[in-house]
Structure 1
Amino acid sequence: MENNERTKASQKITLIGALIDFLLAVFKVIAGVLGNSGALIADGIHSFSDLLSDAVVLYAAKHANEEADEDHPYGHKRFETVATLGLAIILTIVGIGIIYDAIGRLGNPNVLSHSTLILSVAALSIFSKEVLFWATIKVAKTYKSDMLKANAWHHRSDALSSIVVLIGIFGSLNGYLYLDGIAAIIVGFMIIMIAWELGSNATKELVDTSIDIEQVAELRKVIGMLSGVSNVHSLRTRKIGHAITADVHVQVDPFLSVSEGHIISVSVERAAKEYLEDLYDVTVHIDPEDDEIAAPCEHLPERAVALGILNKALFNNKCDGEVQRIQLHYLNGRIHVDFFLSLSCLSSDKSYDEILKKLTEVVAALPDFGNIKVYFG
């Protein structure tokens, strides 16, 4: 439901912007041609480029909130990121084109005419684009959309560029003909600067740049305060569209049961999502020891092989019939073993100490194995 509302709101404000962009572009180009204003024509071309960016935003808004599928198991949120990068590229091309054209006009400035018309169109552009900026930024903040935020600032860039155009036209009408060309060049550079900011932010997201370092430090503190968590390491975050994902290694008591370790991971996920509102996915890795420093157990045999070694040793020492269950603990580069035996193993001629001593001797003779514990039940 929330994704549908987000999509509809994004499409609605973008369609409104596209309609206004089209009308403004037509007015500016016609008025610029009639009034011989290169700055106003450049501003009109800028508005036509907005139509292309609006189309990109509409496409991304439609697909970014689709559910995950087989081809996109992590969802489609980065459609927004790619769209934002696309907007930046479009803006850069437009800015360079405007500057190139304006430099050519500087050598042969035109005398402006139809002053009332061109000044009115420039003023209309400033007003309408500023209104569009505030309307779009409101939707962007409501639904936390960087893509809509980028489009909002695109509208703001139009308003700012129209202010520059207005000043240039006014100066040209008062005898400073070169001001129209200078205004066009300034507009071009403003567009490129906005494109750089949008493009750099989108690129950071595409290369999995972390969220703010202070937020990461606070998130680490929040997780570390949870009951059962003894250490937090390898905490990583990244943005995917408007959302945040994270993965973290949490160190717990190495002798906890698997189910209790799982409950701790659930608590970690809940606490992380409560702290970071935009966090939608957390991968929690439960560690019995800090594997960020070293991995001392990597060389040890896995469970099936380790049990085969143990069972063979128990059989050779004629004590395999006593053991009901074996639990292994991979810690500090050794395999520590818990033996579970039936109470019937305890008799007048076989005490706990004798059983412990026998099993200890068997395990001590094996490489890679460490301490043992014996439980009866």
Structure 2
Amino acid sequence: MAEAYNADQVLKLKARVTYVGALINIFLAIIKVGVGVFGQSAALIADGIHSLSDLVSDLFVIIAIKMGAREADHDHPYGHRRFETMATVLLGLGLVVVAGGIAWDATERLLHPEKLLVPNRETLGVAIVSILANEWLFHYTKRVGDLTRSKLLLANAWHHRSDAFSSIIVLFGIAAVFMGYPFADAIAAVVVAVLIAKMGLFLVMESINELVDSSLPENYVRDIRRVIKQTQGVMSIHLLRTRRMGEDAYIDAHIVVDSRISVSEGHMIGDRVRDDLKTEFDDVVDVLVHIDPEDDEFKGQNFKPLSRKQVQGYLEKYLADFMHSVDEFRIHYLDGLVEVEVVLPYGMFNQKEQIDGLKKQCMLIEKEIDMIAKVYVFFKT
């Protein structure tokens, strides 16, 4: 799990796997393009260009990893994770462009049979080497991607897997030429181009979804809701927003708690929700919890409750003869109205005449002030 490694170790793991991939892609690009040219295989040349594009993507990954690993600062309070996401978009667009070039060249050869190339047998061996190398790179990169929770590395891993598939197609295309199907090599090049384009478009769309703050997958959100609802003190959830930044997940949650508890207890429940989510989900790095005494999701935006200063003004007006004895007052905002708790010293409990007068004034407040639904009187020992 990623927690077993500190930030420097994670960065080194990411960099190492990318450098290894870059070196292997340099080797594959050279032998595939070289043998493809001398061995007259359009499909192998296309695969060699594919490997060359992989090398460029590896450079993007290295730069993005270094940029994304920078700590949050004043200008980037959420960190620099989206450098990885933007690099993934560029990587995908590059693949689409490369695929278009390969498909164009192969189609030209299919339309003009005199331009068709006849590969020699050495190209078969290079295709097999490419399959084995890319499949090994896939498993190595995916393992590190899972370990570090890097979407960019996982994307690169599947990129290596697509390279292995494209090399398999090249292998069959070349073999088919030897079996008497002269168009097979060019057709294989077109199929390789389609695979490259498909992978590129997938990377672009997935990364754009992240850049526009699309929600986490539905099953993931469902699990988040489950953990929140199981937290002691949470009565319900009325708003939940999630998003992804690089390999990290961010959550904003509005939870409903008992309307009569203290602010500090509500804050403690929010902290417990945050801790439970970060413990349950490895990739959750930040949780913002908003505490609500009721479900106010559909409350009108024009609703303007009484302020504490306004409530105090009403109390001073209606309870003018008693305010010198009031220790404190608490306000509850519920159902669009205000409830007030007036706290008196316990010594007044037996002063029946004063208490009766206070009750009458409290009832007058409830009657004349529409926004105040109830005034309660408590005695403090």
Asked whether 1:53 is paired with 2:46, we answer no
**Residue 112 of structure 1 aligns with which residue?**
118
Secondary structure of the equivalent of 1:283? strand
Asked whether 1:150 is paired with 2:160, we answer no
Q: Give the Å deviation of 1:196.
A: 2.2
- Distance in 2 (alpha carbons) for counterparts of 1:177 and 1:221: 60
Q: Select the residue among 67, 74, 87 that pairs with 2:78.
A: 74
**Which segment is superposed worse, 300-309 or 331-340?**
300-309
Identify unmatched segments of 5+ residues in structure 1.
Answer: none
- Distance in 2 (alpha carbons) for counterparts of 1:96 and 1:211: 32
Amino acid at match of 2:83: F
> Normalising by structure 2, what TM-score?
0.92
- Distance in 1 (alpha carbons) for counterparts of 2:286 and 2:260: 28
Q: How many residues align?
A: 374
Asked whether 1:236 is paired with 2:248, we answer no
- Distance in 2 (alpha carbons) for counterparts of 1:223 and 1:301: 31
Q: Give the Å deviation of 1:376.
A: 2.1
Secondary structure of the equivalent of 2:18? helix
Q: Select the residue among 87, 94, 98 that pairs with 1:94.
A: 98
Q: Give the Å deviation of 1:349.
A: 6.0
**Residue 32 of structure 2 aligns with which residue?**
28
Q: Give the Å deviation of 1:322.
A: 2.4
Q: Give the Å deviation of 1:299.
A: 2.1
- Distance in 2 (alpha carbons) for counterparts of 1:158 and 1:296: 54
Asked whether 1:8 is paired with 2:12, we answer yes
**Residue 315 of structure 2 aligns with which residue?**
310
- Distance in 2 (alpha carbons) for counterparts of 1:36 and 1:10: 37
Amino acid at match of 2:201: W
Please say if residues 296 and 333 of structure 1, whose CA atoms lie closer than 8 Å, have aligned partners that are also in contact.
no
- Distance in 2 (alpha carbons) for counterparts of 1:25 and 1:296: 61
* Structure 1 pair 103–207 and aligned structure 2 pair: CA distance change class (3 A): same
Asked whether 1:163 is paired with 2:168, we answer yes
Please say if residues 297 and 330 of structure 1, whose CA atoms lie closer than 8 Å, have aligned partners that are also in contact.
no
- Distance in 2 (alpha carbons) for counterparts of 1:121 and 1:20: 13
Q: Select the residue among 351, 354, 368 that pairs with 1:365.
A: 368
**Residue 44 of structure 1 aligns with which residue?**
48
Secondary structure of the equivalent of 1:350? helix
Secondary structure of the equivalent of 1:138? helix
Q: Select the residue among 276, 290, 295 that pairs with 2:295.
A: 290
Amino acid at match of 2:341: D
**Residue 63 of structure 1 aligns with which residue?**
67
* Structure 1 pair 111–87 and aligned structure 2 pair: CA distance change class (3 A): closer
Please say if residues 319 and 358 of structure 2, whose CA atoms lie closer than 8 Å, have aligned partners that are also in contact.
no
- Distance in 2 (alpha carbons) for counterparts of 1:219 and 1:365: 46
Superposed CA deviations along residues 250-306 of structure 1, whole A, max 9, x for unmatched, are 111111110111111111112222332221111111111111232599322222333
- Distance in 2 (alpha carbons) for counterparts of 1:172 and 1:54: 33
- Distance in 1 (alpha carbons) for counterparts of 2:124 and 2:298: 67
Identify unmatched segments of 5+ residues in structure 2.
Answer: none
Please say if residues 310 and 363 of structure 1, whose CA atoms lie closer than 8 Å, have aligned partners that are also in contact.
no
Q: Give the Å deviation of 1:117.
A: 2.5
Amino acid at match of 1:216: V
Q: Give the Å deviation of 1:363.
A: 4.8
**Residue 254 of structure 2 aligns with which residue?**
249
Please say if residues 42 and 117 of structure 2, whose CA atoms lie closer than 8 Å, have aligned partners that are also in contact.
no
Q: Give the Å deviation of 1:343.
A: 3.3
- Distance in 2 (alpha carbons) for counterparts of 1:96 and 1:348: 91
Superposed CA deviations along residues 298-342 of structure 1, whole A, max 9, x for unmatched, are 322222333234324433xx3332222121111112111111222
Amino acid at match of 1:188: A
- Distance in 2 (alpha carbons) for counterparts of 1:186 and 1:339: 79
- Distance in 2 (alpha carbons) for counterparts of 1:124 and 1:66: 38
* Structure 1 pair 297–92 and aligned structure 2 pair: CA distance change class (3 A): closer
- Distance in 1 (alpha carbons) for counterparts of 2:246 and 2:323: 58
The CA RMSD measured in Å over matched residues stands at: 2.0
Asked whether 1:321 is paired with 2:327, we answer no
Q: Select the residue among 182, 204, 211 that pairs with 1:206.
A: 211
- Distance in 2 (alpha carbons) for counterparts of 1:60 and 1:334: 52
Superposed CA deviations along residues 102-151 of structure 1, whole A, max 9, x for unmatched, are 011111343425x2322222221111111111111111111111100111
Please say if residues 36 and 45 of structure 2, whose CA atoms lie closer than 8 Å, have aligned partners that are also in contact.
yes
Asked whether 1:330 is paired with 2:336, we answer no
Amino acid at match of 2:10: R
- Distance in 2 (alpha carbons) for counterparts of 1:24 and 1:264: 56
